[in-house]
Amino acid sequence: MSAKRDVYITEVALRDGSHAIRHQFTVDHVVQVARALDEANVPYIEVSHGDGLAGSSLQYGFSLTDEMELIEAAGSVCRQAKVSVLLLPGIGTVNELKEAAKRGAKMVRVATHVTEADVSAQHIYMAKELGMETVGFLMMAHMAPVEKLVEQAKLMESYGADIIYVTDSAGAMLPHQVRGKIRALKENLDVEIGFHGHNNLSLAMANTLAAIEEGATRVDGSVRCFGAGAGNTQTEVLVAVLDRLGINTGIDMYNMMDLAEETVAPILGHPQEITRDAMILGYTGVYSSFLLHAKQAAEKFQIDSRDILLELGKRKLVGGQEDMIVDVAAEIAKAGTKAAR
């Protein structure tokens, strides 16, 4: 890799962005975007189903293209960037991890709910055996107090993770909360610390900057804000802001701007914005990838998707419980029918 950077950005549009287009990426999409990201000197490019390796399913949404083909396609055009994958234990297994490594993945982010780091052990061990850079990805970090977060992060560190991420999966965290969590990990761990944000409350950039100010050296971005919910921290804007702050990312801003407008915008099809549903995700702390599932259920039962999302928030549903969304929608519709009688 080229000269040392102050902050390393992982571009997640080819993984998190999969949610926004119902997992319809083609090989051509991935080749175009990955090649341009590599030419812009982006160090890490995450490629997989939105819910990680083996996520293509009835529950999470079927991929148009087998993710192993997409991983291999990205690797074939990257000259300096490392291809990364996401793995959620219980969805992906060590078998998918081994296959992804064969296809060219150099980094894996092993993602668990913030209180369930213990399920990541075998996957982190295997990743280290495969020679992969390994990240512990603590999702829905807003749902745990700082002490619990530190406890779980230490578990991932003990398994061999090189980096631990605070992951704001719902876009629910406020800057002071990000500061507290990043600071605690910096004080208690010996590995690098990262942050992944969503923009459901328009705070992805502010939260990312807060994380960096507290010592995070790994952060995520999605070009054109291409991600679940209202998207992630917008990569090309983040590069510009960090440059203004004198923080070196090593990424070419002009190349990123051109990629965003000329290549990614047509794939995304519509601007990422903070819709009423996306805002509810952040307000109630609901997993960002639930958005399209909730919209589909609302259409099926002819109810307001916000009512579904609010109820999901009350029940504190987390990633992996997508099958509950239809059940919740049916209950709301049934209650509304009774009330109307």
Tokens 């083909």 sit at which residue? Answer: 69
State the helix-helix crossing angle for 235-244 and 204-213, rounded to 10 degrees. Answer: 40
Tokens 């090189």 sit at which residue? Answer: 162
Which residue in 241, 257, 218, 278 sits closest to 84, CA to CA? 218
d(CA 272, CA 9): 20
d(CA 52, CA 128): 18
- 44 three-state secondary structure: strand
Determine whether the annotation assigns residue 16 to a binding site.
yes
Q: How many residues does the chain have?
A: 341
Tell me the torsion sign for CA atoms 4, 6, 10, 13.
Answer: negative
Contact 142, 110 (CB under 8 A): no
d(CA 98, CA 89): 14
Contact 80, 2 (CB under 8 A): yes
Q: Which residues of 173-201 are buried (b: 16+ CB within 10 A; e: fewer)?
A: bbeebbbbbbbbbeeebebbbbbbbbbbb
d(CA 10, CA 35): 15
Determine whether the annotation assigns residue 196 to a binding site.
yes
Query: Which positions are annotated as active-site residues?
Result: 19
Determine whether the annotation assigns residue 49 to a binding site.
no
- 333 three-state secondary structure: helix
Would you state the structure tokens that stand for residue 337, as one six-digit string? 């029918």
Would you state the structure tokens that stand for residue 329, as one six-digit string? 């929608």
List binding-site positions for Mn(2+): 16, 196, 198
List binding-site positions: 15-16, 169, 196, 198, 287
List binding-site positions for substrate: 15-16, 169, 196, 287
